[in-house]
Structure 1
């Protein structure tokens, strides 16, 4: 009887360790994003078109993330993500406008940079964990960029360096026995006339702990603060690698 109890205890301990191993893990990923820029910015009375006035078109950026999940009750999981989101261009102006108190004329060649790079810190809970995986939580997105225009002897700039809280939803749908999956991730917020939405859709194939993912990301910003305004859309396809341990 004693030996049987010892054997049962060992089996129970083994089952407990196995269960914990299933719910403790880390995920990391990185991808290259082909970005198409569109929209306008304003720091004063004039709205500046990113395509017509600044000559913006396409750019290539990158993003990487790491997420940690654990079995501690009530304590949220954590996810960190960094996205490089900036574009620079030199363009000959075809009209006169004012930006941040500086006048730019049709005779000026303007160097411009728009930087919306940001770091996301997300606390989330795993709601579902089977062939459908669903996480919900809160993201704090810290921007550390600017909009800068310069020409000979003149320069104007607006800093974009504020933290923004956003709702976070991340879903993954596994196709059993195939290695294929679909994913959707959203960070969104809307308050008054201001809104930010960041939607990522992906299709992936997983072999072992490594997954290859192809997808589309759409990032929309609509912000107003007195005479400063940014209405920007950056979207495009991405290719990434994800490692799930």
Structure 2
């Protein structure tokens, strides 16, 4: 029975992949994301988290995707994000970070520098001129550096974290009949132990050019990235990145 189930699953994936692409495909996109960055950090424990609100900054997002007709071999999408932010605040309580103690009432400058790169391996389970649905695995690579500095004394400390986090990936898009508009969204999610990550976006795309040679779309929407890390390289976070974005996407 298990063998039959596995064969059935392989058959579905194979047929879905063949139907999705009869030729090689390449997609590239760029976006400007207006990110509101806030949350809590610690390098001691989850109970010692200190809250910060670093305000809003516009950051770039770039992505490429490669699709092919080879059965069972997943398609590949790579997306890179600059999630760095910084801001000043007055501590409401004493905060210890990377071996340095910052007293309550002190004004500090906080720099949260982080790069996030998604390596998405996915199958097009359903794809036609009106509806498409993708499912797969996202290996999200996080490379972050957190620096806290006392503005008055220039006393500073910093800590770094990096690593791969596997996440389930799904995406869908639906065309609005008789219009050049598309509604789309994707979801990346993980919940293992005390690690919780959720990265999703919802948007609307407008086809400026749509022919056999190239498709060009203007797109915009809302994206949210929740980052709850429990001892990733000794760092604990409960952080939110969210905001609206606009961009362009070209499909060859």
TM-score category, normalised to shorter length: 0.7 to 0.9
Question: Post-superposition shift, 1:187?
Answer: 1.0
CA-based RMSD of the aligned residues comes to: 2.1
TM-score with structure 2 length normalisation? 0.82
Cα deviation, 1:140-193, whole Å, max 9, x if unaligned, reads 111111211123353222212111111111111112331100111111111012
Query: Aligned to 2:115, which of 114, 117, 123?
Result: 117
In structure 2, the residue matched to 1:242 is 249
Runs of at least 5 residues in structure 2 that lack an aligned partner in the other structure: 1-18, 210-214
Runs of at least 5 residues in structure 1 that lack an aligned partner in the other structure: 1-18
TM-score with structure 1 length normalisation? 0.84
Aligned residues of 2:21 and 2:68 also touching (Cα < 8 A): no
1:75-224 aligned within 5 A: 75-106=73-104, 108-130=106-128, 131-151=130-150, 152=153, 154-208=155-209, 209-224=215-230
Distance 1:21 1:153, change over 3 A: closer
1:4-83 aligned within 5 A: 23-44=23-44, 46-51=48-53, 56-83=54-81
Q: CA separation in 2, counterparts of 1:21 and 1:200?
A: 24
Aligned residues: 223
Aligned residues of 2:20 and 2:127 also touching (Cα < 8 A): no
| 3-state SS of paired residue (2:69) | coil
Q: CA separation in 2, counterparts of 1:148 and 1:73?
A: 47
Larger Rg: 1
Cα deviation, 1:62-104, whole Å, max 9, x if unaligned, reads 1010001111111111111101101012334454321122011
